[in-house]
A and B are shown apart, each in its own frame.
Chain A
């Protein structure tokens, strides 16, 4: 079974440029998460989807970040315009059920390492 697939693996852009990340969760997983991980830190939740509905986007910087999950499957996270402080690894995760109390936890993708110069 394929895991959570993310692309691109790496991205280097100049500040003020737009960037987009794509995530394909595990088939059948209704819940999808986008996390940001800064160097030496734990993942920080940006947004959580239940099917195609964003149920928690309280930590998404909405002035420059946007996300969508069309048809409740793939998801895209966009930053426009990017700032130097956005450099981080952007992780996508999925789980079978709603919320953290799931027997098999979250399955993470390998992430997209973004460098803004």
Chain B
């Protein structure tokens, strides 16, 4: 079951904050977040495991709400380098399979 990401796209000014959401209709065991720049490989940002934890490094953090079956990625004081497409990958069920959402295109302008 493919997770639903929102918004599909967003444009920010440098220094602004952003939140990207990832929702599933099934119970989640883990959520991955990746950033992909145009023509490049997706790059792993972080993983959240079942248990409702929050993680973060630098100005990028994420939460995992087990009851709501959703995860959110928080980008604080965005930088130009944050531009790209953000994908969440969710693991639901016991098949150890990661299914990716359609992505959120983030553009950060000066």
Which residues of A are at the interface with B, using a C-beta cutoff of 8 A?
A: 3-4, 40-45, 48, 56, 91, 98-111
Contact = CB atoms under 8 A, between A and B. Distances in A.
Interface residues of B, number: 27
Nearest to B91: A100
A105 B32 contact: yes
Interface of B: 2, 29-30, 32, 34, 39-47, 49, 87, 89, 91, 95-103
Contacts of A106: 32, 42, 44, 98
Contact of B97 (A45, A108, A109): A45
Contacts of B96: 56, 98-101
Nearest to B33: A105
A56 B93 CA distance: 14
Given A40-B102, A40-B103, A105-B47, 18 more contacts: A3-B41, A4-B41, A42-B89, A42-B100, A42-B102, A42-B103, A45-B98, A48-B97, A56-B96, A99-B91, A100-B32, A100-B96, A100-B97, A104-B44, A105-B45, A105-B46, A108-B34, A110-B39
A110 B41 contact: yes
